[in-house]
Chains A and B, each alone.
Chain A
Amino acid sequence: MGRITLGILLLASLAYSREWNLHIGGMHCIACTLAVKKALLSVHGVQIAKVNFKNESALVITDENISLKMMQDAVAQTGYTATLATKN
């Protein structure tokens, strides 16, 4: 029952969410993905962040009110760059 409620809540939150594909610059090893992910998740309203070293990319799911600049600022504080690859 708990899992069903959690699933409904997750679906509801995703219905009001936005997906971003970011290009991440400055990563020099796989461990850098951890720092970038942590930075993205530190932005209140970022729900999911999946970072890939090989593709230098991040797939980010956020609340509707999150802007690109908010994520860029958070990522920049860790020494990396985030730019928009495509936006849905």
Chain B
Amino acid sequence: MHRREFIKITAMAGSISVLPSFLTASVEMKNTLALYDIQWKFDLTAHDAKECALWIPLPSDISGFQSVLQIGTEGTAKQSFQTTHNNYECATFYAYWDKNTTNKTVDLSMKVALRDRQCDFKRTRVCPDSIEEAKEFLAPTAHIPTDGAVAKIAKKILSNEKDPLKKARKIYDWIIANGYRDESVHGCGVGSPNAMLAQLEKDGRMGGKCLDMSALTVALMRASGIPAREVLGIRVGPSRLSPAFGAKEDITKSQHCKLEFFIPTLGWVPCDPADITKLVLKENLEKTSPRVLELADKFFGFWENNWMAFNHARDFDLYPANTQGSLDSFGYAYAEIDGEYLDPFEPAHYRYSILSKKVTL
């Protein structure tokens, strides 16, 4: 892979104008198109005389919200390819360097178009296949339990509520009311609902970051019979709503997890309780302030067009298989050096950067 390779090129302007309407008509399409040019650079040269393998999460098309217009790669890997061969079909770029390669680098460049995703909550027709497929996201995984403490709390939150949308809102509001953003947490957090609930029982509130909040929301929703899934991604530009929700050009540390839940009369509905807890912290607001209440209401059914989704994989196996086993989530690039996990938060050994530029249309 010595020369620049373009994996996918489509006619940019053309594809925007013919974006298919969203799978479920409940999502209102607004004229909020944004185009981003994103450059990734990875350098594993520090690991001289060692085998290095790298799996990078890639964005995929999400009809009506996200369109990947181009992905190009350049580097020194002995082997590299793009794949969706894994049980969540998440788009992955894989690169492998043998121990004899001294200069171990790979660059990715991509152009992605994003639109605001806004659910208007009008009843719509959802195809039976989608309803059937969504049921897959009721099942527990290794890190998303639906029994024990999760089931107990879900029952307590919902009382006798029967309407699925009202159930989802009650859980969403409960997360915001009881959660707080803990800046000492590494990255997006570990996404362990039981750890969050243990903290709540001990301290009367629970701290974490986006993966922690989203995972608990997903677990509570699944335990209540609502299909739900975390969506790992990255902020790619400034927010129109608050600096708390945005990113500058260097987005290396801007990974962010949101979630979506499924209502048979609406389809998949986006939401983001974690960002409301971030808003409270960053703008030093009371949870009962009009601004928090207004944005909490907005974020139940909304994703802004400054965030790019990667995948909704939890507890899954990479392809090609890694040495360490199942990943609990795939929002960060994952690397192994001679089969050992490389700490993504250790910049001296794992040099990478992600830059994003908003392109004028």
B287 interface contact, C-beta 8 A: no
Closest B residue, CB atoms, query A49: B340
The total of chain A residues at the interface (CB under 8 A) is 12
B341: chain A residues at CB < 8 Å are: 30-31, 33-34, 53
| B329-361 near A? 1/0 per residue, CB < 8 Å | 000000000111101000000000000000000
A51 interface contact, C-beta 8 A: yes
A29 touches B339 (CB 8 A): no
B192 touches A28 (CB 8 A): yes
B343 touches A30 (CB 8 A): no
Taking CB atoms and an 8 Å cut-off, the chain B residues in 173-204 that contact chain A are 190, 192
Stretch of B1-9, B32-40, B320-328 lying at the A interface: B320-328
B339: chain A residues at CB < 8 Å are: 50, 52
Task: Given A50-B339, A50-B340, A53-B341, check contact A30 B192 (CB 8 Å).
Answer: no
A87 interface contact, C-beta 8 A: no
Distance between Cα atoms of A33 and B344 in the complex (Å): 13
Taking CB atoms and an 8 Å cut-off, the chain B residues in 191-245 that contact chain A are 192
Q: Which of B143, B192, B325, B338 contacts A53 (CB 8 A)?
A: B325
B324 touches A54 (CB 8 A): yes
B325: chain A residues at CB < 8 Å are: 30, 52-54
B340: chain A residues at CB < 8 Å are: 33, 37, 50-51
Taking CB atoms and an 8 Å cut-off, the chain A residues in 3-33 that contact chain B are 28-31, 33
Distance between Cα atoms of A37 and B340 in the complex (Å): 10
Task: Given A34-B341, A34-B343, check contact A29 B190 (CB 8 Å).
Answer: yes
Task: Given A52-B323, A54-B323, check contact A29 B328 (CB 8 Å).
Answer: yes
In whole Å, how far is B347's beta carbon from the nearest beta carbon of chain A? Answer: 14
| A36-68 near B? 1/0 per residue, CB < 8 Å | 010000000000001111100000000000000
A53 touches B343 (CB 8 A): no
In whole Å, how far is B323's beta carbon from the nearest beta carbon of chain A? Answer: 7
Distance between Cα atoms of A50 and B342 in the complex (Å): 12
Distance between Cα atoms of A55 and B97 in the complex (Å): 24
Most buried by B among A30, A34, A50, A52: A30
Taking CB atoms and an 8 Å cut-off, the chain B residues in 306-329 that contact chain A are 323-328
Closest B residue, CB atoms, query A29: B328
22 interchain pairs (CB within 8 A)?
A28-B142, A28-B328, A29-B143, A29-B190, A30-B324, A30-B325, A30-B328, A30-B341, A31-B190, A33-B341, A34-B341, A34-B343, A50-B338, A50-B339, A51-B340, A52-B323, A52-B339, A53-B324, A53-B325, A53-B341, A54-B323, A54-B324
The 3 lowest CB-CB distance pairs between A and B, nearest first, are A54-B325, A29-B328, A53-B324
